[in-house]
A and B are shown apart, each in its own frame.
Chain A
Amino acid sequence: GAGVSQSPSNKVTEKGKDVELRCDPISGHTALYWYRQSLGQGLEFLIYFQGNSAPDKSGLPSDRFSAERTGGSVSTLTIQRTQQEDSAVYLCASTQGGPSSNQPQHFGDGTRLSIL
């Protein structure tokens, strides 16, 4: 597609359930980033992929969070045993090159996750 696509756009789930968030980057973009944005807060870096590899996983808040990317394209962010503090907007972005390439990030509109 023309832009970064994320699904679902909204997700409401009960505490303790697992959720899976999906990101479809711009075709041909090798780098893919996941961020979390809580109300009134800035973007919190979670993880980035170069191709299918994740050189930097340091931003993942806990071992309940994991992400994968297959075929150098679609990525999924999985949160296991969700907690209320996981409620936030999860944003995905992609770029043609990695962080050092100075390329602008192209963002999707995010998944708004609400944990009851």
Chain B
Amino acid sequence: SQKIEQNSEALNIQEGKTATLTCNYTNYSPAYLQWYRQDPGRGPVFLLLIRENEKEKRKERLKVTFDTTLKQSLFHITASQPADSATYLCAHMNRDDKIIFGKGTRLHILP
């Protein structure tokens, strides 16, 4: 079955450092991957989309990479701030046109 996996362990990063989150997918080659941020009690908020023919996408302090050989996307937050603390979700559309989300990685930026 088509799976999308994120590190379920919480990630603690010191303020000012770069946080890197991983999203791996199996049994399918998606045309794109999306990254979302979710705060407690709120719905996910879209951050970035990267297509399979794009190696890297940037938006302010955010950077996403897409390695179709490794079947992996990395999400980076540079100069991290406590306000970046949240759960980050990756998602893609599978071959049945269904959007599949990972379980998310909780990120804690320590002041």
Q: Which residue of A lies closest to B47 (CB)?
A: A104
Total of A-B residue pairs, C-beta within 8 Å: 60
Which of the residues B49, B89, B93, B96 comes within 8 Å of A42, measured between beta carbons? Answer: B89
- Give min CB distance, B45 to chain A, whole Å: 7
Q: Does B99 contact A (CB under 8 A)?
A: yes
B46 touches A106 (CB 8 A): yes
Judge whether A43 is part of the interface by a CB distance below 8 angstroms.
Answer: yes
Distance of A10 Cα from B24 Cα, bound (Å): 34
- Decide if the interface of chain B is mainly helix, strand, loop or mixed: strand
Shortest Cβ distance from A56 into B: residue: B98
Q: How far is the CA of A100 from the CA of B32 in the complex (A)?
A: 10
Contact of B99 among A45, A55, A58, A106 (CB under 8 A): A45
Most chain A CB within 10 A, of B44, B96, B100, is at B44
Give bound CA distance, A93 to B32, whole Å. 18
Asked whether B97 is an interface residue with its Cβ less than 8 Å from the other chain, the reply is: yes
Determine if B97 and A105 form an interchain contact, defined as CB atoms under 8 angstroms apart.
no
Whether the pair B99, A99 counts as a contact (CB closer than 8 A) is yes
| CA A59 to CA B96, docked complex, whole Å | 12
Q: Chain A: residues with CB nearer than 8 A to chain B?
A: 4, 33, 35, 40-43, 45, 48, 55-56, 58-59, 91, 93, 98-100, 102, 104-110
- Contact residues of B with A, CB < 8 Å? 31-32, 34, 36, 41-46, 49, 51, 89, 91, 93, 96-104
Question: A43-B91, A45-B100, A105-B34 given. 10 additional CB < 8 A pairs?
Answer: A33-B99, A40-B103, A42-B101, A43-B44, A91-B43, A99-B99, A105-B44, A105-B99, A107-B43, A109-B43
